[in-house]
Structure 1
């Protein structure tokens, strides 16, 4: 399930850095351009922990997906702000636990659309689909996702490294409230977002570097991140640095991203 529109090669702007491609560079991927690498290197020079934070965030997605599939019995996943696919992808993790898992990815980035074919290869028993939509249009997302997911049954909603691109005044809370409000009891919200609580100077310099590249970022405090989970039941260990959410090995120090998982009662 993919959207239609201008040809991909006509819509990808390689003259300016793009956050998904910079993130791909941090992860050691190959789907980025010199302008993205340049910004990534500038940010890493300011904050040497930035690539580590990207890897820790990816590992957080893996652990939360496995936990929800194995422990909460979740069989449906809605991942918004998918980004460029880096294996293992969310559907591969979910379907390794439960092969019949149904996964819908959502993004409006032509780079991601160009790689949607890689996202769509899942298990024979499960379903993996891609929806082209803007994260700021949650009602359109829900309408399209409902063609694949049964919203009357629990869904894991993943907003991984998305909300720091959306300021509160631009509707970040409305976005979360609309999406969570449409989901059935037993659904879960998985969220990670940037914070300056641990390394304020480095993070604010990194935000300035992104801004110079035309990308706006928002850093939120622990209390501010907590507001996205109001009315939900946080799973242990609550809202922590993504590196410290149920680590499979001894956790390193915190990285500048908070993450949490919560159940809709």
Structure 2
């Protein structure tokens, strides 16, 4: 008689949006994936194309990640579902920063917010996602659109969504855009270099990876995957190769499960 198989223990589910093939690329989602891997938490990925994000998250009962000025909910990825503490009533968390806070408080081993660093890291991550990344958007958004599956590309042609952005043509305008990007990298290199006297000068906390590093590395991985020749080939050599060294520090936490 065949043995009855034991049910698999519940694991965390990360909802992600694929690029061409099942490839993770969205910086906000990369940030959470790096944290899950760093904390060595078992998880699985569910891929959701852009047209299916809102209906999928509504069906899950996920809270909106934000709200429009008129109060209407906005549903975006990543979303994490954690049934490991209570399989009957799993925790469902939206919004990248909220997910990071949840994972840190629920699974404190291998902390991403070392003691006394939470406020400064929060400011650092706010700078990365709201200031540092802005000059990249005219370059990276059109390139990212071109890597989407056909069905997701079609979604952005709908009447309720803006037309897809046009890429910058090679030439002076594109080079000026990259110069604006480099100004942000140069400034950040100066800030991080202040850790060189009591750290390695690469990671934000001096010696150990933290949430701030994962927020920045997620941007680097976005550039590497979407614009390997026009983008990453430039950036990896800027500031004495600092950004390639940071990416290397995060290398062990880039698995896609």
Range of TM-score over shorter length: 0.3 to 0.5
| Greater RCO structure (CA 8 Å; 6+ sep) | 2
Q: TM-score, normalised by structure 1?
A: 0.32
Q: Which has the higher Rg, Structure 1 or Structure 2?
A: 2
More strand by share: 1
